[in-house]
């Protein structure tokens, strides 16, 4: 989660540790993003309803003195945010951005609009740069007897990494810089190298420090080119989708991200590809008004005596807690130091998940998260859940002990088709111009997607509830036309609605987008 402050009258979101992540803002095609001095200036992230054409979106934006900022070309193998999440970066006059976001969120053809805020790291100085108490506290010696994370890829979305560090280079994969659209992941702040070292520094080699997942691989995804480490929500979301498309099993985001619809959409994209996203709670030491995010594991920080670290945020969105004070790790200058903050509790958690994933490669992401939470140490509070610790402080040994995975011999295939119906407009309703279509879909195992067809032509697909589409009737003759919705569940079962008729009447003044 991100804790916000005002900086130069712009919204900033802090990350959870001792460095600052950087971000960037779109400029003309093929140019590198440059972050303006005044962060988040005049930018919105807008996701239209499925089926809304670029032309119709531009008509909507024109009425708000806004326009889509062309997203620079990406490296081969990477997707643009529009391709992966239907997300558009939009320029608006900076004095109007809050007003325009509110108005667009009220538009029936817009799924959501939010300000492209920037996120910032927060430094905390540790007392003892050499201590590694967290390894025993999380019962890792027992865990290592069962798993060291071999075969698992952890994406570290951060300020880059020192790729020549003697205790990191053997465990590093070739990464990506979402800001510059290239493979230069040089650490411009130092925070990313520390985070990577907590996850998977080369260990048991008589030098340096021991990490959590000795044999896991780190995929560096650089989300900031600035020395202060500030990053935008848009770039964090782009990094998540790139990591999902490039083999990452787990993503560590040492930022407070739970209140962003864009990042939540990217986390869902990562989650739907079988991955797990871990994020930090933040270092403001305050209670957050937040709810659980099913696509993100949010981590608070604990002390060596299993108390909540004074700086750690807390709230209903906390899933687990992990050590976050004085974790011995690698540094940008090729040496060793320590990290303090929820920025380091998060990668400690990501490292344990890598151990669990390696030991249980057939487990789903939901099963792995349950394994982590159900075996957490909750002796520091009464009941089964705490806003300070979530389900408890991570116990890697207990989780690995409980993780012998025996799949059902021959599980019965799900043959129950989903239920699907068009709820709006009603049967035989009169429509004109650009109109909205709402679909209801449900399934015993889960709906994978809903597709909408107008006169047999595919309008688009929506992958999450509520399922809503925009249909342009301006190109068809007046009279009766058909809508058809098709729902597909996670097992591949398909249900198609009977023809749902609407009457197009464009002879009257057409409805135009607001």
* Distance from C-alpha of 172 to C-alpha of 200, rounded to nearest angstrom: 9
Q: For the stretch 286-302, what's the b/e string if a residue is b when 16 or more beta carbons lie within 10 angstroms of its beta carbon?
A: eebebeebebbbbbbbb
Q: Outline where DSSP puts E strands in 317-372.
A: 320-323, 327-330, 336-339
Measure CA 158 to chain center.
13
* Residue that the structure tokens 């465990």 belong to: 171
H helix intervals, 138-288:
140-144, 191-200, 233-245, 261-272
* Distance from C-alpha of 354 to C-alpha of 358, rounded to nearest angstrom: 6
* Distance from C-alpha of 81 to C-alpha of 44, rounded to nearest angstrom: 13
DSSP at 390:
B
Structure tokens at 311: 């700086």
If we measure between CA atoms, which residue out of 307, 310, 219, 315 comes closest to residue 258? Answer: 315
Q: Rounded to 5 degrees, what angle do the CA atoms 450, 452, 456 make?
A: 140
Residues marked as catalytic: 158, 191, 343
Dihedral angle computed from the Cα positions of residues 233, 236, 238 and 241, in that order, rounded to the nearest 10 degrees = -130
Q: What are the beta bridge partners of residue 218?
A: 154, 172
- Count Cβ atoms within 10 A of the Cβ of residue 496 and give its class: 0-12 exposed, 13-18 middle, 19 or more buried: middle
The H or E element spanning position 300 is strand 297-302
If we measure between CA atoms, which residue out of 180, 213, 157, 216 comes closest to residue 16? Answer: 157
Rounded to whole angstroms, what are the CA distances from 69 to 16, 98, 121?
Answer: 30, 18, 27
If we measure between CA atoms, which residue out of 420, 488, 82 comes closest to residue 265? Answer: 82
* Distance from C-alpha of 26 to C-alpha of 116, rounded to nearest angstrom: 11
Question: HEC profile for 80-146?
Answer: CHHHHHCCEEEECCHHHHHHHHHHHHCCCCEEEEEECCEEECCCCCCCCCCCCHHHHHCCHHHHHCC
If we measure between CA atoms, which residue out of 273, 342, 263, 262 comes closest to residue 296? Answer: 263
Structure tokens at 315: 């709230």
* Distance from C-alpha of 161 to C-alpha of 174, rounded to nearest angstrom: 11
The H or E element spanning position 295 is none
* Residue that the structure tokens 């802090």 belong to: 14
């Amino acid at each position: 989660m991100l804790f916000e402050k005002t900086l130069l009258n712009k919204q900033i979101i802090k990350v959870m540790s001792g460095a600052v992540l950087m971000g960037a803002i779109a400029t003309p095609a093929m140019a590198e993003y440059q972050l303006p001095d005044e962060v988040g200036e005049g930018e919105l992230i807008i996701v239209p309803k499925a089926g809304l054409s670029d032309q119709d979106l531009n008509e909507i934006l024109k009425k708000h003195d806004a326009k889509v900022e062309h997203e620079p070309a990406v490296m081969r193998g990477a997707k643009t945010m529009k391709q992966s999440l239907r997300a558009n970066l939009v320029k608006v006059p900076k004095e109007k951005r809050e007003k325009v976001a509110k108005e667009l969120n009220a538009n029936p053809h817009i799924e959501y609009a939010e300000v492209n805020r920037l996120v910032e790291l927060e430094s905390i100085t540790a007392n003892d740069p050499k201590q590694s108490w967290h390894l025993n506290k999380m019962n890792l010696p027992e865990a290592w007897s069962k798993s060291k994370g071999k075969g698992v890829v952890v994406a570290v979305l951060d300020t880059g990494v020192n790729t020549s560090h003697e205790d990191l280079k053997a465990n590093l994969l070739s990464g990506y810089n979402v800001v510059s659209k290239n493979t230069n992941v040089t650490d411009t702040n130092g925070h990313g190298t520390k985070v990577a070292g907590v996850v998977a520094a080369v260990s048991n080699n008589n030098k340096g420090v021991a990490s959590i997942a000795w044999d896991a691989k780190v995929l560096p995804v650089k989300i900031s080119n600035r020395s202060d480490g500030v990053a935008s929500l848009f770039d964090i979301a782009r990094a998540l989708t790139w990591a999902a498309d490039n083999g990452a099993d787990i993503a560590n985001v040492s930022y407070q991200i739970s209140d962003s619809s864009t990042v939540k959409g990217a986390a869902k994209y990562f989650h739907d590809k079988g991955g797990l996203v871990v994020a930090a709670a933040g270092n403001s030491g305050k209670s957050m008004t937040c709810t659980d995010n099913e696509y993100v594991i949010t981590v608070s920080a604990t002390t060596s005596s299993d108390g909540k670290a004074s700086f750690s945020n807390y709230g209903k969105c906390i899933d687990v807690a992990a050590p976050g004070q004085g974790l011995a790790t690698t540094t940008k200058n090729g040496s060793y130091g320590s990290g303090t903050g929820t920025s380091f509790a998060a990668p400690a958690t990501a490292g344990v998940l890598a151990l669990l994933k390696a030991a249980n490669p057939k487990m789903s992401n939901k099963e792995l998260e349950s394994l982590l939470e159900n075996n957490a140490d909750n002796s520091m509070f009464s009941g089964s859940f705490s806003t300070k610790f979530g389900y408890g402080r991570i116990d890697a040994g207990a989780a690995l002990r409980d993780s012998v995975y025996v799949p059902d011999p021959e599980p019965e295939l799900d043959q129950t088709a989903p239920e699907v119906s068009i709820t709006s407009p009603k049967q035989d309703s009169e429509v004109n111009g650009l109109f909205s279509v709402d679909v209801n879909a449900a399934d015993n195992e889960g709906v994978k997607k809903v597709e909408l067809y107008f006169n047999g032509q595919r309008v688009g697909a929506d992958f999450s509830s509520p399922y809503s589409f925009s249909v342009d009737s301006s190109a068809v003759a007046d009279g009766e036309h058909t809508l058809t919705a098709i729902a597909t569940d996670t097992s591949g079962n398909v249900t198609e609605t009977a023809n749902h008729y609407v009457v197009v009447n464009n002879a009257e003044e057409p409805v135009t987008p607001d």
